[in-house]
Every structure is written in C-alpha cells, then in structure tokens.
Amino acid sequence: MKSFKETTGQVHSVETFGTVDGPGIRYILFLAGCPLRCIYCHNSDTWDYTIGETRTVSEVFEDLLRYKAYYDRAGGGITLSGGEPTLQPYFLAELFQRCQIEGIHTCLDTSGFCDLEKAQLFLPHTNLVLLDLKHMDGPRHQEITGVLPDKTFAFAHYLAEKKIPTWIRYVLVPGYTDATEDIEKLCLFVKKLNNVERITFLPFHQLGSAKRKTLNIADPLQDLQSPSKESIEIARNIARKHNLVT
C-alpha cells in the first residue's frame, strides 16, 4: 500500500538495459513532462506531465534493486531521463539519495532547464550529469527548443562550481546546429567549465518522426537527412583543436 508521506514521481517508462545514457549498463527511468519543444525530439510522447504512472520512490527503488547486482557487475547504475527529469526535483533527489546509500551510481540526463534552488536538492546525490546543450545562440536556441538558453547556461556554470562530473551532448542538425561557428562557440563555452569529462556529437536522425506524426506535432525537419560522417568529423575536429576530444 502506498504511504501518504512518500514522494511520488510521474514515470513515463523504464528501460532495464540502457547502454547509451551513462557508463555501463543502466536502469533508465524516463519521467513524464518537458517544458522544451525541441524540433528534433525523439521522445515527444513524454512531453505531457500527466501521462504514465504515478510511482513512489520505494516502488521504483525496489524494482531497481532486482537488477542491482547486474548493474554493479557492468559498471552501471541508474539514469533519470525524460522528458525533463528536473521538473520532479523532490522525487529525483530522494531516489538518488537512496541509490547512493545503496552504492548505486546515479546519472541525470537533462537539458539543464532547471531552477538552481531546485538543483540544490538533487545535485548532492548525483554522480554524473549528461547535459544536452542545444545551441549557443539565444534566438537560435529558442527557435530549436521553444525556450531561451539562459537557464541551461546558468545550470552548466553551477555544475562546474559544484564540480559535478559532466558529459556534454550536442545534436548535430544539418543547417540548424552544425555551422563551424556554432561548434566553435560551443567549444569555447565548454572549455571554460572545469568539470566536463567528455563531449559527444550526436547525429540528428528521423527516429522521432513517427511519434511526431502520431501526436500531430508539426515537423519542420521531416525531410531532413542525418548529417554525413564527414560533418560529424568536422565537429569533432573543432573540438579536438580545443582539446575537448582525443
């Protein structure tokens, strides 16, 4: 039976064998709700905060414990993703705290669109942040995501101040985010942070387009191709020049 006092979260879905959202093999919890509207989002079915199931911290934690030995062996842990998981800061903080007490590595996959006073709740219990930077230019960021980047930039600086290990992820969208000057600006920003362990360029792909169609979401990228291997290499070379990739 659920306790009245227990913190609950709105959970969209769970993946028990995640291999791309943090180190090792991971329990990926996708939380419902996102304030952004990225034009290339492949999880647009998570945008609505009311979908999914309401679950207590204990319910999630006990489910996770069933696989713990497996994640331990594989150097993994738990990743909270979404949607935007920082929209549920109390649930996030409590769950991560319990995980860390149990020796489970905690990772947060976020756009960084988060109030800093809320971040203070969960960052002390976060081992690693996967921070998605979408664009360094304000108006372009707004065009791509629906919001300005100020909160994300403040969050990135706060992570650096708190020395939280961070991996940066940046989606290369041809014609939107892949200009040389875009990548230069990104690298100059990242270079100033002292906590970034890696930067990864993710190619735009059409995997989210079917969901957008089903949900009747406008899709300005419906005819766009993924970036070529060469353009990914160009981005990596710029980052290499800044000593951000090997």
Q: Which is nearer to ligand SF4, 79 or 111 (CB)?
A: 111
Q: Which is nearer to ligand SF4, 8 or 111 (CB)?
A: 111
Q: Which is nearer to ligand SF4, 9 or 83 (CB)?
A: 83
Q: How many residues bind ligand SF4 (CB under 6 A)?
A: 11
The 94-133 site mask, x for binding ligand SF4 (CB under 6 A), equals -----------------x----------------------
Task: Select from 133, 78, 138 the least CA-distant residue to 107.
Answer: 78
Q: Residue 229 corresponds to which tokens in the numbers above?
A: 């291997």
Span near ligand SF4 by CB under 6 A; candidates 65-73, 82-90, 216-224, 236-244: 82-90
Distance of closest approach, residue 51 Cβ to ligand SF4, in angstroms: 13
Q: Which residues of 218-241 are buried (b: 16+ CB within 10 A; e: fewer)?
A: ebebeebeebeeebbebbbebbee
- What are the distances in angstroms from CA 217 to CA 15, 37, 211? 25, 10, 8
Q: Which is nearer to ligand SF4, 104 or 173 (CB)?
A: 173
Do the strands 8-18 and 26-31 form a parallel or antiparallel pair, or are they unpaired?
antiparallel
Residue 199 near residue 188, CB atoms below 8 Å: no
Distance of closest approach, residue 43 Cβ to ligand SF4, in angstroms: 5
Q: Which is nearer to ligand SF4, 45 or 94 (CB)?
A: 45
Distance of closest approach, residue 130 Cβ to ligand SF4, in angstroms: 11
DSSP secondary structure code for residue 179 in this structure: S
Q: Which of 84, 94, 178, 182 binds ligand SF4 (CB under 6 A)?
A: 84
Sign of CA dihedral 153, 164, 110, 199: positive
**Interface with ligand SF4 includes 79 (CB under 6 A)?**
no
Q: Which is nearer to ligand SF4, 41 or 119 (CB)?
A: 41
> By CB neighbour count within 10 A (0-12 exposed, 13-18 middle, 19+ buried), where does 112 fall?
buried
Say which amino acid occupies 15: E
Q: Which is nearer to ligand SF4, 104 or 171 (CB)?
A: 171
> Of 10-49, which residues contact ligand SF4 (CB under 6 A)?
34, 36-38, 41, 43, 46
State the Cα angle at 83 between 196 and 205, rounded to 5°. 75
Q: Which of 82, 112, 149, 227 binds ligand SF4 (CB under 6 A)?
A: 82
Do the strands 26-31 and 77-81 form a parallel or antiparallel pair, or are they unpaired?
parallel
Measure the CA–CA gap between 36 and 47, rounded to whole angstroms: 8
| Residue numbers at the binding site for ligand SF4 (CB under 6 A) | 34, 36-38, 41, 43, 46, 82-84, 111
